[in-house]
């Protein structure tokens, strides 16, 4: 594996067991990925001819201590990014994005974020705890890990405890794109605006599978109706081509909620599209 030149790309599972309901996601995504091939004829991308791709396996998390698991994830990713690799992560619980971004910021400084999700994940706490899958981006803001003027959240929707659930996000400078503003339209124009906003600085992509409507992706723990379609998901990811993407994740896949495997199959294809959108991928 030649990583010293920054041309190594890793398919990496940081969360095989953090969450009981979503811990089997990475394994099932791997199983469904056998359906994938090597070339993307829609975009002309040749990822496996452009990058060295490796599955580094699972981070050895602490099943009994979430904070220690986050510490282990951060340390593992610091080594990965220090070697010049771009991590593509399979999840599992969305909490993992927090320690990953800690590692990213250590190398790149505050990064831009394209966050595709039904939920903003900027809650402060739940049941008195400040670390869970609904709080990662609040913790990231507090630690200065994000370039908040380059944070875009797409697909947000669902019921709430307040009439203005996005006040915190917008007060931080986030652009919040509600799912209802995406209904029945192409997202290509939106992604043109996103590319302008992100510029040439480092950007991280975090994609929660529940951004998609549960008709397409029922295998997740917190589904919300009236979500994005798979074609819109492709438009979002393909719209990142040319950006300085330094890492990606696809999270919250929970196979017990979808025995058909369709959610994991969709996740595997979206991860392939992320691979195709990475810098240095040749297109023809």
Q: Is 121 annotated as a binding residue?
A: yes
CA dist., res. 111 & res. 105, Å (int): 7
Is 133 annotated as a binding-site member? no
119 is in an annotated binding site: yes
**Closest Cα to residue 138, out of 123, 158, 116?**
123
The pair of structure tokens assigned to 109 is: 């400084």
Flag whether 181 is marked binding: no
Q: Is 55 annotated to bind ligand?
A: no
Count of residues in the chain: 284
208 is in an annotated binding site: yes
Dist. CA 166–CA 160, nearest whole Å? 10
CB-based contact 44:283 (threshold 8 Å): yes
Give the annotated binding-site residues for Mn(2+): 94, 117, 119, 121, 208, 210
Q: Annotated binding site, which residues?
A: 94, 117, 119, 121, 208, 210
């Amino acid at each position: 594996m030649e990583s010293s030149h920054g041309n190594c790309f890793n398919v990496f599972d940081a969360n095989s067991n953090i969450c009981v309901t979503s811990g089997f996601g990475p394994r099932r995504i791997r199983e469904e990925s056998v359906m994938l091939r090597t070339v993307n004829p829609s975009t002309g991308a040749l990822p496996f001819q452009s990058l060295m791709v490796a599955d580094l396996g699972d981070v050895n998390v602490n099943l009994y201590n979430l904070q220690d698991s986050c510490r282990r994830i951060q340390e593992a990713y610091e080594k990965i990014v220090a070697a010049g690799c771009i991590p593509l992560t399979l999840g599992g619980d969305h909490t993992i994005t927090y320690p990953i971004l800690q590692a990213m910021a250590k190398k790149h400084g505050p990064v831009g974020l394209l966050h595709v999700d039904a939920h903003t994940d900027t809650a402060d706490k739940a049941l008195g705890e400040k670390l869970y899958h609904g709080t990662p981006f609040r913790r990231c803001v507090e630690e200065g890990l994000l370039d908040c003027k380059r944070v875009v959240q797409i697909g947000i929707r669902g019921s709430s405890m307040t009439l203005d659930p996005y006040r915190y996000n917008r007060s931080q400078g986030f652009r919040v794109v509600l799912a209802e503003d995406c209904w029945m339209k192409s997202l290509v124009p939106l992604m043109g605006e996103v590319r302008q906003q992100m510029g040439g600085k480092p950007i991280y992509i975090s994609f929660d599978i529940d951004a998609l409507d549960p008709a397409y992706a029922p295998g997740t723990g917190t589904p919300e109706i009236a979500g994005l379609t798979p074609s819109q998901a492709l438009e979002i990811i393909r719209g990142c081509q040319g950006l300085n993407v330094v890492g990606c994740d696809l999270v919250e896949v929970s196979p017990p909620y979808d025995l058909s495997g369709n959610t994991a199959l969709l996740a595997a294809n979206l991860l392939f599209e992320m691979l195709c959108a990475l810098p240095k991928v040749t297109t023809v």
